[in-house]
Chains A and B, each alone.
Chain A
């Protein structure tokens, strides 16, 4: 199933993803730093250029004389000649008194903004169609009369060279930032490429593998972020390897299990062929038949297990809705002669209502047969086997209890693993597949199997839990 969570688009280049995440942020960052730089540049340039304006203002100011009782302003043109050397533009001046009597210079200069006495203020304005920077100073005409008439001195210069200077600085800043971004992008690309190279090497190494080479992939040289993925794949492969191992062992054990009785029968036939006495031959043949029975049983169990395993994936062994209590009752009936042959008893208390589960009837019966058979085999003669069927929430719980010796804790942990037999019963015939079959069949029907010792007395409880299906009416 392709997981479409988290908006993952299939197969985008890592570099593109990196770029889409970083480039917009880089560009926004660049623009904002440029804006701050521009503001700072403008302020600094202004303050530098304004200093010469302030100097011109102070120079004119110092040449204002009120000795005569009037207001004498010396012409500043000589001063401006030096000023214009550095200003590269036009310079204007305006001297007025706030009583309106004196107006000298470019009297059409825009009026100054609000001025505090003694303070030079700078402002931007236009004059004769050009942008100008104006410095304005207001001070009392007579130092002995600070509340009296004030004189206002203004010097203005065109902003051409100032603006050109600012633009050049900003241009340089833009170029610098642009180059930095370019370098960053190149480094990012190089970095992404270098980071991804080990993965390319990995791909080549895996491509070179033999088809059955499932050894773990080397993680040491890979980037830390990719390791968890590769380690998960390694674990998957490991589980695969283990499963393959298990199946090999299964084949191993199975062939071993079948070979032994066959070898025994061969020996017995040889013995029978050498025997003279008909009675002896009959005995030998009888015991061979027992051995054959056992082999048949084992083969049937192996087949059941194989079928159960496959029924987990496909519907080659169809499942249908069956009445569980009927199946259990029938199984008990089938095994009744064997139960009685050991002088044991089996009680089954079916519930009142029908319990419907979805399973393959044959396989389910095989599983129940195996479990009850285990109880018959391992419990002492004359003991009781109790079978109980209960409904808990939406599960049907089948419990088969015996009065045998139970199982040791570590054996309980491995119950269901094939061919593990309880250590106590070497002498009992059995192939250890019983619980494995029960477990596999339970799982195939969406349920589970659990094995535990009886709390009240010595014995084993095998409980099979199956999901209950609501019956189809009719």
Chain B
């Protein structure tokens, strides 16, 4: 055989190989967009911006990922919008968190359940935190709870979500642990952690039930706030090690907040797989840990089926929790 025939056969094999492995070199969806279903500055915003930075950093996504906002009901409005009108948008990923799952468990996302979208990936985890003003009179979570117990109406608790949301749940769990009737809490709802932090700075609320991610970002940005407690098992690494956990202060409550993305239910399998693989690759990249750390988030990498299973089990667990607190469930 001549060398030319060998080259041609090699080329044929190569192209067959390329054709046999379609994932390699599959084009990314057009017009990539990350919807943060909240006001800017909150946890969803950070999630989308993390995706934006990490996907670009790892090279998985060539085009810049646009971040847009669609506030309303901790993702309820966005969920309904996607499932209702934007079912097959391949380029649109929407951020979700444990809070969204808690709301789904209570049927607060309208007619739709966790089975109505395609869960793509978890990119990290956050933890719940109690945030007060830097010069607040409450120096510890214990003091704060004592103040609430003495006069519930005197402490205004803000949360990025209404009654039954994860922020409210953190407050209710803590109150229950302190022996306070959580129904007497004086509670103001906000559309996301960012709004709550603004109100906290303005002195319109006394404490915010937020997440480590967005609160620390605000503190790093110069806001005169401080963290009273973190709802984690152990103290977090890095500069967050200064903040005691709730358990240390006598409130054995842990509230990790998984953060991830989903896409519309009618997105094609190929596009869904593309996103899952893109995230898998990104989360394996060496810089990813640094990007997480910058945003005060922690690793919890999952994609595709793992994520879907995680979501389903979380929703079931939250349903039980909601019933515990006398909240309606779906």
Q: When the two chains form their complex, are residues A70 and B195 in contact, meaning their CB atoms are under 8 A apart? A: no
Q: When the two chains form their complex, are residues A107 and B189 in contact, meaning their CB atoms are under 8 A apart? A: yes
Is the C-beta of B123 less than 8 angstroms from some C-beta in chain A?
A: no
Q: Which of A71-79, A132-140, A380-388 contacts B (4 or more CB under 8 A)?
A: A71-79
A106 to B72, CA, bound (A): 16
A99 to B110, CA, bound (A): 7
CB distance from B260 to the nearest CB of A (A): 19
- Category for how many chain B residues contact A: 20 to 34
The verdict on A105 contacting B188 (CB below 8 Å), with A68-B69, A70-B37, A128-B153 known, is yes
Chain B CB count within 10 A is highest, among A70, A105, A129, for: A70
* B74, closest chain A residue (CB): A101
Q: When the two chains form their complex, are residues A101 and B188 in contact, meaning their CB atoms are under 8 A apart? A: no
Is the C-beta of A6 less than 8 angstroms from some C-beta in chain B?
A: no
Q: CB within 8 A of A72: which of B39, B153, B162, B186?
A: B39
* A72, closest chain B residue (CB): B71
Q: CB within 8 A of B195: which of A68, A75, A100?
A: A75
Chain A CB count within 10 A is highest, among B72, B80, B81, B108, for: B72
CB distance from B279 to the nearest CB of A (A): 24
Q: Which of A419-461 contact B (CB under 8 A)?
A: none
Is the C-beta of B222 less than 8 angstroms from some C-beta in chain A?
A: no
Is the C-beta of B173 less than 8 angstroms from some C-beta in chain A?
A: no
With a cutoff of 8 Å between Cβ atoms, the chain A residues found around residue B78 in the complex are: 69-70
With a cutoff of 8 Å between Cβ atoms, the chain B residues found around residue A106 in the complex are: 187-189
Q: When the two chains form their complex, are residues B189 and A104 in contact, meaning their CB atoms are under 8 A apart? A: yes
Q: When the two chains form their complex, are residues A72 and B110 in contact, meaning their CB atoms are under 8 A apart? A: no
Is the C-beta of B58 less than 8 angstroms from some C-beta in chain A?
A: no
The verdict on A73 contacting B191 (CB below 8 Å), with A99-B110, A101-B80, A102-B77 known, is yes
Is the C-beta of A9 less than 8 angstroms from some C-beta in chain B?
A: no
Q: CB within 8 A of A128: which of B68, B73, B109, B186?
A: B186
A128 to B185, CA, bound (A): 10
A71 to B77, CA, bound (A): 8
A104 to B68, CA, bound (A): 21
* A94, closest chain B residue (CB): B189
* B190, closest chain A residue (CB): A104
The verdict on A107 contacting B73 (CB below 8 Å), with A77-B199, A128-B186 known, is no
With a cutoff of 8 Å between Cβ atoms, the chain B residues found around residue A128 in the complex are: 153, 186
Q: When the two chains form their complex, are residues A68 and B199 in contact, meaning their CB atoms are under 8 A apart? A: no
Q: When the two chains form their complex, are residues B37 and A103 in contact, meaning their CB atoms are under 8 A apart? A: no
A71 to B74, CA, bound (A): 11
A173 to B71, CA, bound (A): 52
Q: CB within 8 A of B191: which of A69, A99, A102, A108?
A: A102
A208 to B110, CA, bound (A): 105
A103 to B68, CA, bound (A): 21
Is the C-beta of B134 less than 8 angstroms from some C-beta in chain A?
A: no
Q: When the two chains form their complex, are residues A70 and B69 in contact, meaning their CB atoms are under 8 A apart? A: yes
With a cutoff of 8 Å between Cβ atoms, the chain A residues found around residue B81 in the complex are: 69-70
CB distance from A404 to the nearest CB of B (A): 121
With a cutoff of 8 Å between Cβ atoms, the chain A residues found around residue B57 in the complex are: none
Q: Which of A100-126 contact B (CB under 8 A)?
A: 100-108
Q: When the two chains form their complex, are residues A77 and B204 in contact, meaning their CB atoms are under 8 A apart? A: yes
With a cutoff of 8 Å between Cβ atoms, the chain A residues found around residue B70 in the complex are: 68-70
CB distance from A155 to the nearest CB of B (A): 14
CB distance from A177 to the nearest CB of B (A): 40
A104 to B204, CA, bound (A): 14
A107 to B168, CA, bound (A): 12
Contact with A along B312-328 (1 / 0, CB 8 A): 00000000000000000
With a cutoff of 8 Å between Cβ atoms, the chain B residues found around residue A69 in the complex are: 70, 77-78, 81
With a cutoff of 8 Å between Cβ atoms, the chain B residues found around residue A75 in the complex are: 190, 195, 198-199
Contact with B along A56-69 (1 / 0, CB 8 A): 00000000000011
The verdict on A105 contacting B189 (CB below 8 Å), with A75-B195, A77-B202, A100-B108 known, is yes
Q: Which of B168-188 contact A (CB under 8 A)?
A: 186-188
Is the C-beta of B163 less than 8 angstroms from some C-beta in chain A?
A: yes
* A100, closest chain B residue (CB): B108
A101 to B110, CA, bound (A): 7
With a cutoff of 8 Å between Cβ atoms, the chain A residues found around residue B202 in the complex are: 77
With a cutoff of 8 Å between Cβ atoms, the chain A residues found around residue B187 in the complex are: 106-108
The verdict on A101 contacting B186 (CB below 8 Å), with A75-B195, A128-B153 known, is no
Q: Which of B131-149 contact A (CB under 8 A)?
A: none
With a cutoff of 8 Å between Cβ atoms, the chain A residues found around residue B71 in the complex are: 68, 70-73
CB distance from A182 to the nearest CB of B (A): 46
Is the C-beta of B76 less than 8 angstroms from some C-beta in chain A?
A: yes
With a cutoff of 8 Å between Cβ atoms, the chain B residues found around residue A77 in the complex are: 199, 202, 204
With a cutoff of 8 Å between Cβ atoms, the chain A residues found around residue B72 in the complex are: 70-72, 97, 101-102
The verdict on A103 contacting B69 (CB below 8 Å), with A69-B81, A75-B195 known, is no
Q: When the two chains form their complex, are residues B189 and A101 in contact, meaning their CB atoms are under 8 A apart? A: no
CB distance from B294 to the nearest CB of A (A): 26
With a cutoff of 8 Å between Cβ atoms, the chain A residues found around residue B163 in the complex are: 103, 107-108
Q: When the two chains form their complex, are residues B73 and A102 in contact, meaning their CB atoms are under 8 A apart? A: yes
A103 to B195, CA, bound (A): 13
A157 to B203, CA, bound (A): 18
Q: When the two chains form their complex, are residues A104 and B191 in contact, meaning their CB atoms are under 8 A apart? A: yes
Q: Which of B19-59 contact A (CB under 8 A)?
A: 37, 39
With a cutoff of 8 Å between Cβ atoms, the chain A residues found around residue B68 in the complex are: 68
CB distance from A209 to the nearest CB of B (A): 87
Q: When the two chains form their complex, are residues A101 and B191 in contact, meaning their CB atoms are under 8 A apart? A: no
Q: When the two chains form their complex, are residues A101 and B199 in contact, meaning their CB atoms are under 8 A apart? A: no
With a cutoff of 8 Å between Cβ atoms, the chain B residues found around residue A107 in the complex are: 162-163, 187-189
Known: A70-B70, A101-B76, A107-B163. 4 other contacts (CB 8 A): A70-B72, A73-B71, A102-B77, A104-B191
Question: Can you report 17 A-B residue pairs in the complex whose CB atoms are below 8 A from each other?
Answer: A68-B69, A69-B70, A70-B69, A70-B70, A71-B72, A73-B191, A75-B195, A100-B110, A101-B76, A101-B77, A101-B109, A103-B73, A103-B189, A105-B188, A107-B162, A107-B187, A128-B153
B residues touching A (Cβ–Cβ < 8 Å)?
A: 37, 39, 68-73, 76-78, 80-81, 108-110, 153, 162-163, 186-191, 195, 198-199, 202, 204
List 5 tightest A-B contacts by C-beta distance, closest first. Answer: A101-B73, A70-B70, A103-B162, A101-B76, A70-B72
